[in-house]
Structure 1
Amino acid sequence: MSGLLGAKVVITAGGGGIGAAMARAYAAQGAQVALCDIDKAGAEAVAADLPGALGLGTDVTDEPAMEAFWDRALDHLGGRVDVVCANAGIGGPVAPLAEIAMDDWRACLAVNLDGAFLACRRAAQVMGPQGSGVILLTSSTSGLFGVPTRSPYVAAKWGIIGLMKTLAMELGPMGVRVNALCPGAVDGPRMERVVAAEAQARGMTADAVRALYAEGTSMRSWVTAGEIADMAVFLSSDGAKHVSGQAIAVDGHTERMT
């Protein structure tokens, strides 16, 4: 992809899964990456494999911790940021709304939505005066549909879409593009935990739940973290220089949710 050699990239939740795949994909294009993750060891391990990368343990719901991460990242990247991937998220509780505890609701929204706000606020403060940049928020196909037993997660991921749309309007005149990635079911440990929770809540086997996810797509398949990262790289490149304000699904075309 053009335009990413020497780019400065910040990624939240970069210590595993989609975030780690993003970090590797950007580095493969010649970008320099600063990433954080609640899993400090994971963040450090991913960064250690990438040239000139920084990896820090950070709780994206903790405002002072996020400001400290941003300070370190900007110092490491020379004061400039070209791409920000607000990627942190958790699946949250799996249960009917009537059975969800307030603390569990708040915890899910805090990581998914508050974390995105804190990442994007500092990105806007840097990129606006800079007059350029790309912000990518990780939503989900759950940000496009309703999903029974997943109300906190769905509410947060729909909120991500609204945040993205508004930020695209605010920053577009300054030369900053903002989009949201909407992954479908992504192979990996995180979705395996979601599948296990849904299987228990529904009285089904994990294999049956996995099959339902695949059957809900036109392509009858799951996607990989690498495929999400490939789309992130494209959206950050000159090839997407007029793509902004979009919720872009990488999901094999979801027809219905489980």
Structure 2
Amino acid sequence: MGQAFDNAGFQVWVTDVDANTLAACPTHWHRSEVDVSDEVQMAVLFEDISRVWGGLDAVCANAGIAGPTAKVEDVALKDWNTCLAITLGGAFLTAKYASPLMKQAGRGAIILTSSTAGQYGYPNRAPYAAAKWGVIGLMKTLAMELGPFGIRANAICPGAVEGPRMEGVLNREAKAKGMTRDEVYKGYASGTSLGAFVSAEDIANMAVFLAGEGAKMVSGQVIAVDGHTENPDPKV
């Protein structure tokens, strides 16, 4: 996502819990190793952004974890709490500390990453689905609360995104459902009208659009980038 913003002419500040991931980013980006569920670390991050940049035009809360793949009765409370703390709590803390910087400027764009799991029920994914539904509720509230200050809030709902993270999901679901990885993959893909997974670039391009002037009157919206998902897993 950072590269798409860079290509569009934005200055980029990227965060991650993985120092190796940050080290692989372009050297002209600002980089911070941050746990988005840790309020102290998030407060320091936005203090640094304010000190270096003096303000903030757009922020993307994109951090999240898949959480456990299990029947609800088999989900441990600690796993539930961890998934919500990162996936929903991280979005909340991002908005909490970004909004004062944007209020000072009288404008800004907050972009939260939800999921098609925030629009449909997902068997065996209770923590993740709950967190992603929560992200949409948070976004709707931010749009109403911050709109008078010229700040927009929107949520992107990716479908199944090609890459290592989705491969982990496919393999875990296959194990939980007694299916093969390919059967689960086909189930996801056949649930879209375009019959395919989306790419990380597809998501990034939507985020750049929502941050720009072309979306200056777009707020409070849930925007799916999912190849049109009607049934996310028809085999369930």
Q: TM-score range by the shorter chain?
A: over 0.9
- Matching residue of 2:56: 81
Q: Compute the TM-score of the two structures, normalised by the length of structure 1.
A: 0.88
Alignment of 1:234-253 (within 5 A): 234-253=209-228
Q: Distance in 2 between matches of 1:185 and 1:220?
A: 11
Cα distance change of structure 1 residues 47 and 75 upon mapping to structure 2, 3 Å threshold: farther
Aligned residues: 233
**In structure 2, what residue type is equivalent to 1:117?**
F
Contact 2:42–2:97 (8 Å) recurs in 1: no
What's the CA shift string for 1:195-242, capped at 9, x where partnerless?
111011011111111111001111111000000000111111111110
Match of 2:45 in 1: 69
- Could you tell me whether the CA contact under 8 Å between 1:44 and 1:56 is conserved in 2? no
Matched to 2:64, the amino acid is G
Equivalent position amino acid for 1:43 in 2: L
Percent of aligned pairs sharing the same letter: 52
Q: Is the 8 A contact 1:54 1:73 kept in 2?
A: no
Aligned-CA RMSD value: 0.9
Say which of 140, 147, 150 aligns to 1:172. Answer: 147
Where does residue 55 of structure 1 map in the other structure? 31
What is the TM-score of this pair, normalised by structure 2?
A: 0.96
Distance 1:67 1:43 in 2: 19
Query: Hey, what's the Cα distance between the residues in 1 that align with 2:141 and 2:23?
Result: 33
Residue 20 of structure 2 corresponds to residue 44 of structure 1: no
Which SS does the other structure have where 2:156 is aligned? strand
Runs of 4+ in 1 over 3 A off after TM superposition: none
**Which whole-Å CA distance do the structure 2 matches of 1:121 and 1:157 have between them?**
18
Structure 1 unaligned spans of 5+: 1-21
Find 1:97's aligned residue among 57, 72, 88: 72
The residue correspondences of 1:1-258 to structure 2 (distance < 5 A) are 22-48=1-27, 51=28, 53-76=29-52, 78-258=53-233
